[in-house]
Amino acid sequence: MFGEGGWFSGEQLVLLGAVVQTMAMLSRHQITLRVTFITGSAIYIAFYLLVLPTPLWEAAFASLAMATATFYGLVVLLVSRSKLFIPGSLMDLYHTMGGMEPGEFRSLMRSSTRRVVETTETLTQEGEVPDRLYFIESGSMWAEKNSQEFTLPPEVFIGEVAFLTGKPASATVRVAPGARLVEWDAATLKRRVQRNSRVRLALEARIAEDLAGKVTRAVNSET
């Protein structure tokens, strides 16, 4: 198969491995990059062990080590993008929140509490820095700002500006009994997202989307 009388000469095999791994480095698709790089490593390992008169074990092991590390990264990537690893009890929330990959969502939910409100609760107090971040899944909610009261729709974050900036809440927000929400201790969540930039960026992007929706609704209500 390799060498004289085979499909590829030693030189052709090395060239093929170089071309395949170069293609991997040029790919912007992470799965394609990893699969192609592993393929190129396999070609090099075949050259080191099957073509040369004396196998180059050190070089083969080095290529195997790189291929193994790349394969591990591929598995982690596939798991992070798979919905199969989201618990069934959280699947509805995953679809409600949206805007995140499954792995980022799972990481975010590890430090959360999901519950149903039993009595009217004040989530944020105008002028005070809340110590929690909330996502309201469903239920009635209203806000008070500058002595004016207005209702808020569900499926939004509450306390998100304070979470991002550390500034006091701009309004007092309350939820009625029966509302379903997810809450995070702000300090714990900040430490978690600081350790994982992908989760931090995903959360910030989702909050930005939420804020844009709130601004749009506020503008529409004034026109």
Position 218 scores a pLDDT of 67
Position 220 scores a pLDDT of 65
Length of the chain: 223
Position 8 scores a pLDDT of 56
Q: How far is CA 168 from CA 126, 128, 150, 160, 165, in A?
A: 7, 5, 19, 11, 9
Position 121 scores a pLDDT of 95
| Global pTM exceeds 0.75 | no
Taking 70 as the pLDDT cut, the residues of the chain under it are 1-10, 218-223
| Cβ 143 vs Cβ 182: under 8 Å | no
Q: Residue 182: what are its φ and ψ, rounded to 5°?
A: -120, 135
- Distance between CA atoms of 124 and 137, rounded to whole angstroms? 17
- Distance between CA atoms of 168 and 142, rounded to whole angstroms? 18
Query: pLDDT tens digits, residue range 142-178?
Result: 999 888 888 889 999 999 999 999 899 989 999 999 9
Position 124 scores a pLDDT of 95
Instruction: Mention every residue, 6+ apart, whose C-beta is less than 8 A from residue 16.
Output: 8, 43
SS3 185: strand
Position 71 scores a pLDDT of 93
Q: How far is CA 37 from CA 15, 18, 176, in A?
A: 14, 10, 55
- Distance between CA atoms of 136 and 181, rounded to whole angstroms? 4
Tokens of 6: 């085979």
